[in-house]
Each structure stands twice: as C-alpha cells, then as structure tokens.
Amino acid sequence: MDPLYIKLALGGIALLACIGLFFGIGLALAAHKFAVEINPKVEAVKEVLAGAQ
C-alpha cells in the first residue's frame, strides 16, 4: 500500500486520540472544579419510582 495512506491513517488516529485525551482531561477537571452537590436521595427515589419515559 502507498505509504502516504498509512501516514494519513495513523495521523488521523493520532489526532482523534489527542482530541479525546485533551478534552477528556479538560472535562474531567471542569467537572471536578465545578462539581455541584446533588442529594443522593433524589436519585434513589427516582430509581424506585415507575417511569416509562
């Protein structure tokens, strides 16, 4: 196969991995920094309640 195609394919994988890593870390930090306390009981009650939608 043409080495150019292999280069492009590897470049694409590298790019997507970089974007994923960068934004993944960024979002994780943001979620940590801007964390909002949610009462765990709300989730527990929702679990028990019936909900089709």
Partner 1 sequence: MKNDVKAFWTLMLIIATLWIGGCEAPSFIKAAQFEETDRIVLTFAGPVDPAWAEDRDHFTVNEKPDPDILLDIASVRLSPDQSRLTLTLADPINQNQPHQVVVKEIVSEGRNMGTQAVTVSKPYFGYLISILIGALLIQNFVFSKYLGLCVFFGTSQKKSTAVGMGITFTFVIVFASLMSWFLYQFVLKPYRLDYLQIIVFIGLVSLTVQAVDTVLRKINPALFKAFGVYLVLVIANCIVIAVPLILADNEYNMIESLMLALGAGLGFLLALFLMSSVRERLDFANVPTSYRGLPIAFIVAGLFALSFMGFSGMSIF
Is residue 8 within the footprint of partner 1 (CB under 8 A)?
yes
* Residue 8 or 45 with smaller CB distance to partner 1: 8
DSSP 8-state code for residue 45: H
Separation of CA 25 from chain center = 9
44 binds partner 1 (CB under 8 A): no
Kindly determine how many residues on this chain lie close enough to bind partner 1 according to the rule CB under 8 A. 15
Footprint of partner 1 (CB under 8 A):
8, 11-12, 15-16, 19-20, 23, 26-27, 30-31, 34-36
